Structure 1
């Protein structure tokens, strides 16, 4: 992707179980010339680490409501309405405050009037997830995302609004990749770290921030999320974007297809990609965001990073 392109692509890769950032990339070159397609921001990072205020994760954020539902005992066969458009009411935040009924529609037309948890995820049905979030609880959905290190790129807490299930909060791809890496690590979350150790000229080791690895969700729940997300690449919105080895992923778009996100993982590596205009995340549509841009970027980078390594299968650690 040329730096002069009107849109920007950015990606981060994280090693599951460690938090180690294996790659960060932005399609722009460094500088302050907009004409040359330059930027002085690390758009893969959050504000505290040289990034901007973040951007929409789209439906890649549904993974957290999916995990919250499974954690509460909902099964893969949980069937809920999934019309092309609907209005859902009954949401309350963690303080018990209610919301006006939320009108939501699917990104693409669907023939089905209902769906189960697997199909609702594979086809990324917004209306299904609106009903699922209402059943699971807005508060529990947001808290699940927080357990996986998610916050706004500015460092502020996630907004507790019904539309958060569709990734309306502004995040960064590095923390999104770290969250997806936690599912690859059977629910063990490690904060993203760029430095694993420092030794001074005398040989003395200097303390550096650690990944603070901790359990975010039971292994059985994380592994069930993985089983469902594997279907995205074979039966769902990520069809044709497999990488030739076991992988799980989730697609996402912004309102009006102005931007797109793609996050996924193998047992050995997780990556998240975002494509759009960080300065105008709800601007002009980006044609072919999956087929021509964000999905192929994820596929090519994952294949390149894992080239020469033996494929690893997902195993259950419940």
Structure 2
């Protein structure tokens, strides 16, 4: 059986389109399917659409959160709930091409790989600034982290049960799935495809949210920013020490002809800025530690298809 995990946030228009396309694929393969939609605190009619879909198709399941917990929590909930021998994660907006799924299934079945991932060969249609920042992120993270992340890689992938169980063992609160999928290891091959536009609705990812998400990825998989903060602090101390010796010798040899208050203020502001930068980096790591120590659940379930089906049966 293949489990299809689909996070949803305000996707009432896209869900029927996605399901129709996936049903075409399901009928072409010999495997059983189960769909697990995760309603991540949607404000539109996403939950109603999922209820109707589940009532008319017994192989459609859903999990509805009590509020918006984010895509990472939705992915984790889906992985916990799935029962398939093979598990795929897909976006509901059809930017992850369903037509690749049969090829992904075949690749896993005829070889010894544990995962078939997908990556975009280009980012046509995306804003230039987002494209540049994305390339810069992958270049940076692969330079400072031991966990390799493929440029353009999507969450869309097909995994064996063994790999899914390994990912579920990582119970950390601060999650970055692209990094977690790479960190657990297992042999992975990638399929490339042309970038596709959304079929309906609007993306819930703003540039600022993507930027913060990339910062979380760097912090979750590298301690290099802390090393940079330490280096900057040591370098500032060294430069300050050299400047102090120079000023003392100049005063002893030539006196102190100028007051120098503008340069002094500039130096103080510069050193203060460096200190605040380093404190901010350290504070970001401490904040992550703080969230981990709370041991709060990643998500809270308000409703699943089981409760609705039970009510229908009682009637």
TM-score w.r.t. the length of structure 2 is 0.27
Select the structure of larger CA radius of gyration: 2
TM-score w.r.t. the length of structure 1 is 0.26
